[in-house]
Each structure stands twice: as structure tokens, then as C-alpha cells.
Amino acid sequence: MRSLDRLRQSYDEESQVVIQEKRSPPRMLFSDTEVLLEEVPVGTRVVFPNPPVEELANWRAAIRWAINHPEGCDPLHAQLRPGMKVVIAIDDISLPLPPMRTPDVRQFMLEIVLQLLADSGVDDVHLLIANALHRRMTEAEMRRMVGSRIFAAYYPDRYTNHDAEEPGAIVEVGTTEAGEKVRISRRAAEADLLIYLNVNFVPMDGGHKSVGTGLTDYLGLRAHHTPQAIRGSKSYMEPKHSELHSSVDRIGRLIDQHLNVFHIETALNNKMFDGPMAFLGKREEDFSDLDRAALAGLRWTLQRAPRALRQNIFHRVPAAYGLMACAAGRTELAHEKILQAIRRQLFVKVRGQADILIAGIPYISPYNVNSILNPLLVQVMACGYFFNMNRGIPLVKKGGTLIVTHPCMDEFDPVQHPSYIEFFHRLLPETTDAMTLHMKYEREFAQNPSYVHLYRKGNAYHGAHPFYMWYWGENGRQHLGQIIAVGTENTHVPELMGWERADTLAEAIDMARGRQGRSAEITLMHHPPMVMTEVALAGGEGVRQLPEHGGGPLTKPAIAAKEEPWASISRGPSGATRSSSPASPASSARSR
């Protein structure tokens, strides 16, 4: 029989929250490139993603409407004149994840903007990938992102990766009131107009982060890519509670004072899987016989395939993401409208924190597209991203246990992540303290001539990048009392990161209960697709949530998806469902 607290919880949460029962099916959990099927204890709270918001019927019309009805400035066509110099900055391959089907939404935006520029007599145009200290995109990746026609017209002279180490390529435009040096691409700073084409996948994307972070250098990132900034951030996914974003916003506002920047921001839904893989985005309760057969076939194949083949299978399956909102104009006004759409898609309201949180770590992160998930990236997914997928109140209690499923193989890609290898095997055995690493070793790696050369001429992440990955997990490490990795193929990788290991999920849960108590509350985050939580804490007669700072009430997006089709579905007095209840139907996508 359920406890009174569990019964009350069932009536306080949304239909995306399910309480596991005796007859509930086992749950899918990713473990790198394998899909596990695990029994979880009765009473476990399972948090599912929201169904995909219906994509806009006509992507091109939505983009045109946004640039002709921008927020806080003249329409784009009114800002153009013959002979002007224009730089179009574009988000890099780190989002969305996995890469979306072609044509990519960035291609849609580019085709519309480039035609408008041509019609206005503007032919001095440069396309600049805003990759900051990320790796340079390859020629094939650049072609795929913008389409063959644009690629042929602009590559290689007028379609390039940002180079943060090119001598003379960075200019300092000022200093913020907090003393932060504002440094960006000289090419962008000297343009008559900078147009930024953005893809918002999670709430930490876009806004002032686009130009101020994407087009800066190592010295520019030292303002906020630090352990101090991470410790001061309650969540990366709620800008109002993020010291990282506070610094980025100060830098971005100064940039906007000196440059004419026109943002075009887009928001994608969470339709990660469709076609033969559609069952991976469903609740297990809703599986048809065909879905169960497909899952069994996929698991059989993955269990027998070598890891390289498994990675190839997943990396070659693009996501079916759809455009659900577009806004343009001045940075903050356009971004706030996009944030509303992102929040509506990703956040699920839950009541109360868990003692034990379970999450499967998939094969991909923003930093290993077309590569492997090395140990540092497993760490950043666990303690950085999954821990921070909330609006300021973590889903797991202070001192709680995080259980992740991943083999934690000691493998690194020497092409993309050469500096990670030295960081992991030389530095972490000495210290895991983020401040010590920051003060003692970061500049050495950032200025290492070999790492600078591989960043500039190869496809390697900058020498400073593994430090950021360790910092990214800092508030998770400070908050959690225990991290257990399930199914690791070695002992030294989890041990080096300060984690415990278990062979099975059942063993890990027993270990966690040994620390948290036999009656510990357990929550499982069922992703992918992407899901984030808005946690309410019981306080007196109501619930307590973090206060939001700054800004007035949210306004309706300029271009947004229609009302979600599931909003009109009749619900019981709870919002939460029993695990045997059918899932809310996902809306069908329309043609572009």
C-alpha cells in the first residue's frame, strides 16, 4: 500500500510524473551506446519528458515574420544599405544534440538572410562559426550545416571557423562595471552589422551568451568560465539563478553598446526520435508489440556489435527536431521570448526532492559530436548537465546520491580531445580540487604551443577546455554526497573522479540506501529526449520555489507554436498519473 505522502504526491504532480508499481514495466536507461532495460523499486518516481510541442507549419514564413517584426529595433531590411560590411555568426555543431536532419534550421535562416542581403546590394558578407574554444568544424560538417549551395558560394574564404588564437584577430571593446574584459572577434567588431543565427536547445543557450562567449578568446572566457562562477550558479538552466549568466549578460550588454547586433533566435522541440527509433521517445507503458520487438532487436544488435559500430549507428541517426518558435531583434527582448518556448517544452513540475536520483548517460554531449564520450565528458554530463537540469532547485537533496549508468571506459579521441588525455591522467591523480587546478595548471594548458596548434590547424578542443569540463561539474560535486556509476568496465576511472561503482543498478540502489536509508525517496529521470524539472519544496501550507530576480512578467513569443494539443486533454484532480495510465499523445509534426 502506498504511504500517505506518496498518495499526496501523486495528486500534486504533472502527468509526466509516474509512480512505479508492481505491474509497471522495466525502464529504459541509456549507458553510452547501449540501451538497458531495468527493473526499478516500487514507489520510484519516474519523470518523463513532455511530448514534443508541435512544430511550426512553415519554418521559412516564421523566420521571415520574425526578422520583419523584430523586438526593439528596425526590421532587418531597413538596416541594410549597399556596400556595408556584414558578418553572420552561426552557432556551431555543439547543438542541437544529436545533429538535426537536413536542411538544418541554420540553413533555413541563412538562405533567407543571404537573399535579403543580396536584394539590398550587400555583397561584403562573411559567415563565421561561433565556436569559441570548441574544436573547428570539419569541411563536411560545415557543408551539412548550411547546405551545398551556400557552402560552394562561401567556403573557404568567406565561411570560416572563429579562431580565438589567430594573432590580431581579437579586439578588446571595453570593461564591464564588474571589471570583466570584453574581447571579441575583430572581424565581428569591425562589421557594420553583426547578424547572429542562434539555435536554442536548452535555456542556457542564446541571448548574450551567443556573441560574448561564441566569438571571444581564452582571456575573455576567464571572466566566467571559473570554479567561482559555477559555485555561484544554482542552475545553468535558469539564467536568473546563474552567476555564469550574470557575467555573460554584463559582457553582452557592453557589446550591444558598441556593436550593431541583430539576433535571430530559434527554439527547437524535443522530438529526438521518430521512424524506426520512435519507441525510444515513448513511455514503456505505451509500447505496442512492434515497439517491444524493435527494442529487443536494437538491444540484441547493440550487445553484439563492437563499440565503434554502436557509436556509428547512433551518430548517423539525425534527430527529427522541429522549429517551434522564432524571434529576432535586440538581444534580451528576442531571447526572453524564446526562453518561454524552451521552458514550455522542457520543464516538468515535480513536488519535492529525491534522496536518490537515477539517470542514464547517453552516447552524446555538446563536446563529442562524431566522437566518443570520454571520462571527463561522462563527468560533465552527470555532475554538470543532468544535475543542473532544473530551474534552481536540484531534483536531488543536498548530500543525496546520484546513480548513473555508463561503462566509463578509459578512452579518449586524440584528434578532438588531446588536452583531455593529459588533464585526466596527469592532473586528476594529483588533485581533483577545481580551484587548485584553475590556479596551478589552467594557464599552462591554455598556452601550450602544441594544444594551440592542434586547436588552430586541426579539429581539437582548446587546451583550456578540459578545465571547463571539470568546473562544469563543480556545483554537482559540492551538492552530492555520493555518486555511483553502474556497469563500469574498470575501477580506476570512477575512482579517479571520486565515484563509487556497482555492477548492476540493483546493487547501486542498495549501496545508496545504505547511505540514505531504506526508506529513501528514489527518482528516475527518463531521458533522452531532454527533460528538466521545476521542483517545488513543501513549506508550510503551500510550496516554496526559488524567487526569480529581475525582469517583469513573461510576454507571449513573437512567433511561437500553437497551443499544445495535449493541453485540452481532461485530467484528474492530480496532474500525476499511475504508471498504467496512457501517456499524453505527442502532437504530429507538420511539413516545413
Domain range summary for the chain, segments of one domain joined by +:
59-268
Confidence at residue 198, expressed as pLDDT on a 0 to 100 scale: 97
Q: Are 49 and 270 a contacting pair, CB within 8 Å?
A: yes
Low-confidence ranges of the chain (pLDDT < 50): 1, 7, 9-12, 540-543, 549-592
- Measured between alpha carbons, how far is residue 443 from residues 90, 247, 440 in Å? 28, 21, 8
Amino acid at 591: S
Largest CA distance in the chain: 75
**What is the CATH T-level fold of the domain 59-268, as seen in this structure?**
Rossmann fold (3.40.50)
Query: Could you tell me the three cell numbers for 501?
Result: 561503482
Confidence at residue 13, expressed as pLDDT on a 0 to 100 scale: 55
Provide φ and ψ at 281, rounded to 5°: -100, 10
Rounded distance between C-alpha atoms, residue 364 and residue 374, angstroms: 10
Q: Are 181 and 251 a contacting pair, CB within 8 Å?
A: no
Q: pTM for this structure?
A: 0.90
Confidence at residue 538, expressed as pLDDT on a 0 to 100 scale: 76
Provide φ and ψ at 364, rounded to 5°: -135, 150
Half-sphere exposure of 140 (CA within 13 A, CB side): 2
Provide φ and ψ at 29, rounded to 5°: -135, 130
Burial of 385 from C-beta contacts in 10 A (0-12 / 13-18 / 19+): buried
With CA atoms as reference, report the closest residue to 130 among 97, 166, 88.
Answer: 88
